[in-house]
Amino acid sequence: MNALLAVSIAFGSMLVVSCGRPGGGYSLDDPNYFAERPYVVGGADQYSLCWRYGTMGFFFQPSSRIVNGKLVFALHGTSSSGTLTGRHGKALISDPHAVDALHSGGAFWLEPDGTEVKLDVQSPGNCSEPNNLLQATRETRAPEQ
């Protein structure tokens, strides 16, 4: 019984440590994932996160959440298929809470070490349209956290 309790405590501790990790998944400067740094385009109430796929070329969509009044993006995983190297990706930012956070606190990328890097916000029209069905745009929802 004590061995089972010890294993349960050890597993629970590992779970808390891994879930409490402050950092994001992959760096916006990792050329395997991004050929150039992600950025935000738009104005008024219509924005998108834009990026160009890096050398690995696997499909992905960064996630976002609102943290301390800021819109924070991160990439935690990819699919294991696709050849999207150099192509453009785009995620719509249309949730009213996400747009409010973008207006008031800005947009940031969460690095693996927990550092938040401010993302550039550019004028509308500077985000290339996806050129592959796998890259169809999706709406970015940002639940309050």
Q: Where are the domains of the chain?
A: 23-140
Is 12's pLDDT higher than 80? Answer: no
| Residue 48 and residue 137 in contact, taking contact as beta carbons nearer than 8 Å | yes
Q: For residue 130, report the phi and psi dihedrals to the nearest 5 degrees.
A: -60, 140
Q: Chain-wide mean pLDDT for the chain?
A: 78
Residue 45: the pLDDT is 74
How far is residue 71's CA from residue 64's CA, in Å, rounded to a whole number?
A: 7
Residue 24: the pLDDT is 80
Q: Terminal CA-to-CA distance of the chain, rounded, Å?
A: 38
| Residue 58 and residue 97 in contact, taking contact as beta carbons nearer than 8 Å | no
Is 95's pLDDT higher than 60? Answer: yes
Confidence of residue 130 (pLDDT cuts 50, 70, 90): low
Is 81's pLDDT higher than 50? Answer: yes
Confidence of residue 111 (pLDDT cuts 50, 70, 90): very high
For 59-87, b/e burial (b = at least 16 CB within 10 A) is bbbbbbbbbeebbbbbbeebeeebebeeb
